[in-house]
Amino acid sequence: MFIEYIVGLSGLIAAGLFIYGLKAMSSPVTAVSGIVTAGYGMIFVIAATFLNLFNVTEAAKPHLLVNLVLAILALVLGCAWAGWRGRTVQMTAMPQMVAIFNGMGGGSAACLAAVELLSDDPTSPLHLTITVLGALIGCISLTGSIIAWAKLDGRMKKPVRFGGQRIFNAGVFLIALVLGALTVMQYATPMRELPRDLFFLAALLFGVCMTLPIGGADMPVVISLYNAFTGLAVGLEGYVMNNPALMIAGMVVGSAGTLLTVLMAKAMNRSLTNVLFSNFGDSTSSAKGPQGEMHSVDPADAATTMRYASSVIIIPGYGLAVAQAQQKLYEFVKILVADGVDVKFAIHPVAGRMPGHMNVLLAEAGVPYDMIYDMDDINDSFATTDVALVIGANDVVNPEALTDKSSPIYGMPILNAYKAHQVFVIKRGTGVGYSGVQNPLFFQKNCTMVFGDAQAVLSKMVEAVKSLGGS
Amino acid sequence: MITATSMTFIIALYIFMLAAFTGYVVISRVPSILHTPLMSGSNFIHGIVVVGALDALFNATSISGQIIGFIGVFLGAGNVMGGYVVTDRMLAMFRPSQKPAPAKKEQQ
């Protein structure tokens, strides 16, 4: 009895610390303390859970020692593996790492449900239904996250699509639902094992099917969605386990994750149904694209222009991260700032592979966050800016999104780089952007291309401004 | 008449509603630069599922229950640890510039 109170209250304290931590994480100033606070909550509640060892069911008592050893072993192994992976992973590979850890959470919730469904204790149909529902969502999150990881990690290059895929997927989902219902109905009969096992297989399969046709560009939205899914699964299993801490933490993440997913989809001008059920990029064959001539200049000339400009806005894109050129870029920026140039970074909401991913990459290079501006805060400044420097970004500065109703990216908010007096674009070649659309900005009179790998171009720019000497 | 069981269920719905609202409010004021760390942070928080997995494993009575419970705790522990480490690494990088931006000098 006494133990129940201690464990229950520890969960309450942990849930409070989680919410407080999440709140603190919403400002850059307090963000670090936020995750630490949440971390204390987690250690506390996990430690308190071990008190439940004194409170197990009669049937489990003979197995207690084995179970304890298994629990400690699993905890140590899981922490060691994830800690090692988390510490060593490259910052550019962070989105797929988040996908994997999220999938593990979904898998854990599914396992929890599976153990509950194995037991012979009599339970109510309501209880069972919620267990099965949590298992379904957890399984989808597990296999879906694994596919998302494979796509972001470049292990799965092309979206898998075939005729009638939507009907096939709907079929798999329906089968999973029916099997889930059978699992609930047959729970008390000896025939319960077959539908239960098949249900888990169908749920796992649906996670794969659901994610396969979605293109790599949409993966961040999908990961965010699965993050919300895992939260929901955890919340439902919390009800099953009579654990309010799981219910609160799970549901907070479920709703926060859903909101985040909607915000991300909105920033890309795609509705969630669009992301999940349409095949983006299929309409590219009809793209005629604007015609004209691109002007190009060598890096040293572009660098000199920026050195003697009074204001420069830099628009970094994923191409910058792929070339691992953030450090070089900041080196270049530091020289400009030292010479009195007003330099700002403009970040499109979907720059990088996730909202905020580009900010993380810049932060890793040491760029202070007060030099970094959101799209809404900086878009009016372009008209009064001397130079806009676009590095490895394309669709997010495509003015067609504002003007051409037939364009697939019409309506997507863009950074108004085209309004700057002079635009430099560092780009590897003349290719089109992720959406497959040609960018009329590149043919504008005030736009000049600097062709080459971002890392190499920026090195040349650094050399060029260094040779000019300090002012 | 409300029985104890249905009351538990209804209280659960209340908890879900309030928690969902809390999550919505907390996230809606976040600047977009923190979206990725925050997704990772919320990823860490749902790692609390490891607590449920531990309870399930403690009460496992069969070999299959122990195996699945073991996998569950392993996955949950990975979720907790990985989520924390990744979030911490990302957040550690956010720092303001040491001094205010230098005043603009006359150009040429």
Cβ partners under 8 Å of residue A232, min gap 6? A134, A137, A250, A251, A254
Asked if residue B35 and residue B81 are part of one domain, the reply reads yes
Asked if residue B68 and residue B15 are part of one domain, the reply reads no
Sign of the Cα torsion A33, A34, A38, A44 reads: positive
Chain A CB contacts of B79 below 8 Å:
82, 101-102, 104-105, 108
Q: Residue B35 domain-assigned?
A: yes
Q: Residue B90 domain-assigned?
A: yes
Q: Which two tokens stand for residue A226?
A: 């699965």
pLDDT attached to residue B2: 63
Cβ partners under 8 Å of residue A70, min gap 6? B57, B66, B69, B70, B73
Asked if residue B37 and residue B24 are part of one domain, the reply reads no
Q: Which two tokens stand for residue B83?
A: 């989520």
Q: At residue A43, what is the residue type?
A: I
Residue B50, number of CB atoms within 10 A of its CB: 34
Give the gap in angstroms from C-alpha A103 to the nearest C-alpha of chain B. 8
Top residue of B13, B49, B90, B95 to mutate, by most chain A CBs within 10 Å, is: B49
Tokens 């899981």, residue located: A78
Q: Between A and B, how many CB-CB pairs are < 8 A? A: 411
| The domain over range A299-469 is classified in CATH as 3.40.50.1220 | yes
- Measured between alpha carbons, how far is A172 from A22 in angstroms, rounded to an integer? 36
Edge-first strand order for the sheet with A372-374 is A372-374, A342-347, A311-316, A387-391, A422-427, A447-451
Average pLDDT, chain B: 83
Give the gap in angstroms from C-alpha B4 to the nearest C-alpha of chain A. 13
Q: B49, A35: Cβ pair inside 8 Å?
A: no
Summarize pLDDT for B26-59 with one digit per residue, the tens.
887 777 667 788 888 999 999 999 999 999 999 9
Q: Which two tokens stand for residue A159?
A: 């979206």
- Measured between alpha carbons, how far is A23 from A43 in angstroms, rounded to an integer? 19
For residue A261, the chain B residue with the least C-alpha distance is B39
Q: Which two tokens stand for residue B18?
A: 């309030």
Q: Which among B36, B77, B92 has CB closest to A356?
A: B36
Residue B31 burial (10 A CB sphere; 0-12, 13-18, 19+)? middle
User: Is the separation of the CB atoms in A209 and A172 below 8 Å?
Assistant: yes
Predicted structure pTM score: 0.80
Chain B CB contacts of A368 below 8 Å:
95-98
Q: Which of A377, A380, A395, A404 is catalytic?
A: A395
Q: At residue B90, what is the residue type?
A: M
- Measured between alpha carbons, how far is A235 from A229 in angstroms, rounded to an integer? 10
Please report, in angstroms and rounded to a whole number, the separation of the first and last CA atoms in chain A. 76
Look up the domain containing B5 and give its range: 1-29
Residue A351 three-state SS: coil
Asked if residue B11 and residue B47 are part of one domain, the reply reads no
Asked if residue B68 and residue B24 are part of one domain, the reply reads no
- What DSSP string describes B3-68? -HHHHHHHHHHHHHHHHHHHHHHHHHT--GGGHHHHHHHHHHHGGGHHHHHHHHHHT--SHHHHHH
- Which DSSP category does B96 fall into? -
Residue A234, number of CB atoms within 10 A of its CB: 36
Q: A31, B94: Cβ pair inside 8 Å?
A: yes
Q: B102, A247: Cβ pair inside 8 Å?
A: no
Asked if residue B39 and residue B24 are part of one domain, the reply reads no
Number of domains within chain B = 2
Sign of the Cα torsion A430, A435, A437, A438 reads: negative
Please state the length of chain B: 108
Low-confidence ranges of chain A (pLDDT < 50): 280-288
Q: Residue B100 domain-assigned?
A: no
Chain B CB contacts of A118 below 8 Å:
60, 62, 64-65, 68
Q: B26, A252: Cβ pair inside 8 Å?
A: yes
What is the average pLDDT across B4-26?
Answer: 90
User: Is the separation of the CB atoms in B94 and B35 below 8 Å?
Assistant: no
Asked if residue B35 and residue B14 are part of one domain, the reply reads no
pLDDT attached to residue B105: 39
For residue B78, the chain A residue with the least C-alpha distance is A78
Summarize pLDDT for A266-305 with one digit per residue, the tens.
766 677 777 777 654 444 434 445 566 778 888 888 888 8
CA Rg value for chain A: 26
Summarize pLDDT for B80-107 with one digit per residue, the tens.
999 999 998 888 776 655 444 444 433 4
Q: Which among B19, B23, B31 has CB closest to A374?
A: B31
Asked if residue B87 and residue B37 are part of one domain, the reply reads yes
pLDDT attached to residue B107: 40
Asked if residue B57 and residue B82 are part of one domain, the reply reads yes
Q: A31, B75: Cβ pair inside 8 Å?
A: no
pLDDT attached to residue B1: 53
- The pairing of beta strand A387-391 with beta strand A447-451: unpaired
Name the residue among B27, B6, B73 with its Cα closest to residue A111: B73
> Dmax over Cα atoms in chain B, in whole Å?
85
At residue B54, φ and ψ (nearest 5 deg) are: -60, -45
Q: Residue B88 domain-assigned?
A: yes
Q: Residue B54 domain-assigned?
A: yes
At residue A390, φ and ψ (nearest 5 deg) are: -100, 125
Active site residue A376: no
Q: A56, B91: Cβ pair inside 8 Å?
A: no
Q: Residue B47 domain-assigned?
A: yes
Extents of the domains making up chain A: 94-277, 299-469
Give the gap in angstroms from C-alpha B7 to the nearest C-alpha of chain A. 13
Q: A71, B54: Cβ pair inside 8 Å?
A: yes
Q: Residue B107 domain-assigned?
A: no
Q: Residue B18 domain-assigned?
A: yes
Element containing residue A342 per DSSP (H, E): strand A342-347
pLDDT attached to residue A283: 41
Cβ partners under 8 Å of residue A410, min gap 6? A400, A401, A404
